[in-house]
Amino acid sequence: MERRHFIKQAGAAVALAGVGAGVLAACAPKTSNEENNQTASNNETNATMENKEVIAHYVLFWLKDGLSEQEISDFANFFEELKPIPSIKSLHYGRAANTNARDVVDNSFTYNLLVYCDTMEDINTYETHPIHLAAIEKYSKFWSKVVVHDSVLK
């Protein structure tokens, strides 16, 4: 009972400080029914997240020797052109990191691309989308090698 009294007092102090009603509602003690509903909601969310598969499309690019640093930097426009493809959940790209040399590290590539899609259908749409095909046509002259790794993530 003292905890509930403390929470109510703390909530009143927060309200006086102008933080807002949303914080007060979050601080207020829940009834047994509210706790049961929240637990059920969390369990459903966790079950959905655990069963959700995501397709990861990971691509390594080795650009041709002899390109200027400006041409290498400009190559990033290839990735920017892919962003509007509607089946892409998220898209990330970058240059190889200068990590410590070890037997298991391969940072010989110039750029990598990581695209996430929700379904295999989405990755298939991405692969054949006119924006993707046009970008390949436009930028393929810059690379000497490309390696693709597609994975189903859980």
Higher-pLDDT residue of 96, 43: 96
What is the pLDDT at residue 65? 96
CA distance 10 to 30: 15
Q: Give the domains, in start order, of the chain with CATH numbers.
A: 2-51 (no CATH), 54-153 (3.30.70.100)
**Residues paired with 57 in a beta bridge:** 115, 150
What is the pLDDT at residue 52? 81
pTM: 0.67
Tell me the pLDDT tens digit for each residue of 68-117. 999 999 999 999 999 999 999 999 999 999 999 999 999 999 999 999 99
Has residue 59 got a pLDDT over 80? yes
CA distance 96 to 107: 6
* 70 in Cβ contact with 23 (< 8 Å): no
What is the pLDDT at residue 53? 87
Tokens 């200027």 found at: 68
